[in-house]
Every structure is written in C-alpha cells, then in structure tokens.
Amino acid sequence: MAVITYREALNQALREEMLRDDRVFLMGEEVAVYQGAYKVSKGLLQEFGEMRVVDTPITELGFAGVGVGAAMVGLRPIIEFMTWNFALLALDQVVNAAAKMLYMTGGQFPMPMVFRGPNGAALQLSAQHSQAWESWLAHIPGLKVVTPGTPYDAKGLLKAAIRDDNPVCFLEGEMLYNTKGEVPDEEYVIPLGKAEVKREGDHVSLITHGKMVLVALQAAELLAKEGIRAEVVDLRTIRPMDVDAITASVRKTNRCVVVEEGWEMCGVGAQVVDFVQRHCFDHLDAPVLRVHQADAPMPYAKNLEKAAKPDVPKTIAAVKQVLYIDA
C-alpha cells in the first residue's frame, strides 16, 4: 500500500472520478492554471482541459450558483472554495438553493454536487481565515457534511461525495494536506454517514472528526501510557451522523468526551451530547464534556492562538475529569 499525502489522496479521487464520469467538472478560484491554491487539483487542467477544470473570478456566490444551475440540468459539479471562510459569501446558494432544491421542487431536481475546500484554523491566520463551519452546514436539512481526517478517508469519502446525488459539503483540513497515510492502490469508496473507530478502548470514548482525529489519537496514545484506554470514534460524516457508532462506543465505555475544532455554542459536540443523553442515559458514569475552540474569534498572537485551540493537553484534561482522576 502506498503512503501518500492527504493532498495527493484528494487529487487521486478527483482524477479517478473525472475519468469515470464526464459529467463531473471542477470549478473554483485558481483550480486550473495555478493548479490549486493548495495544489489539490495539480495536473487536472492538463489532463481534462479548460471546460472541465475551470478557473473562476473571485466570485464565490456566483460560481456556487453556476454549480447549482449546472446540477439542475444534469452535470455533476465540484465547486472548490479556496477556503470555507470565503464560502460565507456563497451560503445563499449552498443553503437556499442547493440544500432545498430537491424538496421545494417536489423531488424533480436532485443536486448531485460537491462543495469542497479547506476548513478550520491553520497557523496564525487570525480571525477571518480560521473558522470551522461544519456545525453551521450540518444544521441544514438537504445537505450532507463530510470531514475526513486521514488520507485514506479523504480519498474514499471524496469519491463517495462525487457519486452521491445530493449536495455534499466536503470540509478538508488545511493543516492536513501534508499529512501522510496508507492508501490502497486498488479502487475503494467509503460510504457517507459511517463513523469509524480509529482506536479501540474501554475507559472513555473520544468522539471527534476532521483535523481533531489526529489530536484525539495523540491524546489516546499519551493516556495509554498512564493506563487509560481511550476509544477514538471518528464521525467522518457530520450529517447524517452515525448515531449507532456513538451509542455503541459510549455504552461500552460509559464516559464520553467530544473533541471538535469549532466553537462551543450550538456546535457539533452539542448534537453528539444530545444523542448520548437520549441513547446512553443509563450507561453514563459522568457528565459528557466537550473540548472546543475558545469562545472568541481566532487571535493572531501565537500564545493566544494556542490558548484558543482545542489540543492534546485539553483533551487529556477532559478525559481525566470524566474519569474523576485528579490532573
């Protein structure tokens, strides 16, 4: 099995799906001539030409709408946002058009399209470039929301997203593009809506997704040295959320910590906690705790940024709290 980067895994998924189906095209800022702001689309213009790999003006609302229109008449657009931060300008198309089209047309117009791009904080990009949007998007019926944390998942989930006949918001991790992992040479597709236990354990469940999968795994590794066996459940898809996987893990461990990149209020973790209290009430030995970004816009200064972000020490502290272990 080859070891490749998350970026290469995404590139392979795009290329394979464009080869498989000529209705699939990629559109966004700098995706063609520049080869992608993060080089995810490297080589695709040369292979598929300018009708299928389309550079746009800086016009997020506009090209998101072009994607919706193309999907209405049978194409399968992949709309790249240079970052999801810029996608705020396009949310009318994502929410009011793509998500609702099937429903408000009585089932006449499916939206087989993907909105994708990097999500969440990188390093010292401060307030407007460091935001995790999955809880916003997951609020909307009619959308699917996918957050791969590893190269293997990135490739398999992106292929599934492109093949799905619904609008899929695919949130990549800006800090994950250079991470490496094993990816099979043979073709595979990972179904949307299925979580994966990334590490087994029976003392506490760490429910997480996206970039925080790596944080949770590192925390679990350190906890193991103290004899604490943490189970890491990677949701992979936020909507639909794999309630069964959450329930199975928490019923086994009886304790739960949710680790997410975004803010606390109405975050993904709030939804996980709701599922846990409904389905695991009699199994809980401690209140569920959440690890998340501080309740402030992202600051620039290194020390403040570090303090704002969820990380391994904060995760370990939360785990010890639900185990009633003094830190």
Active site residues: 60, 129
Tell me the C-alpha to C-alpha distance, in Å, between residue 62 and each of 108, 159, 261, 299, 302.
23, 25, 29, 30, 35
Count of beta carbons in the 10 Å neighbourhood of residue 154: 33
Tell me the C-alpha to C-alpha distance, in Å, between residue 203 and each of 109, 126, 208, 257, 285.
47, 36, 16, 11, 11
- Beta carbon nearer to other proteins, 165 or 200: 165
Which of 297, 293, 325 is closest to 311 using CA atoms? 293
Q: Do residues 161 and 13 make contact, with C-beta atoms less than 8 angstroms apart?
A: no
- Name the site residues for other proteins (rule: CB under 8 A): 21, 25, 51, 56-57, 59, 61-77, 92-93, 96-97, 102-110, 112, 141-142, 144, 160, 162-166
Report in angstroms how near the CB of residue 166 gets to other proteins at its nearest.
5
Both structure tokens of 254:
């009886």
Q: Do residues 187 and 156 make contact, with C-beta atoms less than 8 angstroms apart?
A: no
- Beta carbon nearer to other proteins, 74 or 297: 74
Report in angstroms how near the CB of residue 303 gets to other proteins at its nearest.
38
Report in angstroms how near the CB of residue 169 gets to other proteins at its nearest.
13
Report in angstroms how near the CB of residue 219 gets to other proteins at its nearest.
34
Distance in angstroms (rounded) separating the CA atoms of residues 93 and 172: 20
- Beta carbon nearer to other proteins, 145 or 212: 145
- Beta carbon nearer to other proteins, 43 or 142: 142
Both structure tokens of 117:
């791009």
- Beta carbon nearer to other proteins, 107 or 227: 107
Radius of gyration, CA atoms only, the chain: 20
Report in angstroms how near the CB of residue 117 gets to other proteins at its nearest.
18
Distance in angstroms (rounded) separating the CA atoms of residues 75 and 25: 8
